[in-house]
Amino acid sequence: MRNYFDSIDIDPLHMQSVEERFSQVMSLAKKHHVLPEDLYAHHQELSVK
């Protein structure tokens, strides 16, 4: 497993971008008291109102 992980190239800028998006998703989920996977449906509900 370690050899597999060592062979993966990770672009630091891409990784930072992914971490920022993840943080935003988690923050929005907490703000709206929903699970992260339910954010899209929650957004749709709010858009209808």
Q: Give domain limits for the chain.
A: 14-48
Please, are residues 2 and 16 in contact by the beta-carbon 8 Å criterion? no
Question: pLDDT band for position 10 (50/70/90)?
Answer: confident
25 — pLDDT class (breaks 50, 70, 90):
very high
Percent of the chain with pLDDT over 70: 98
State residue 11's pLDDT score.
Answer: 87
Name 44's Cβ contacts closer than 8 Å, sequence gap at least 6: none
Q: Kindly report the average pLDDT of the chain as a whole number.
A: 91
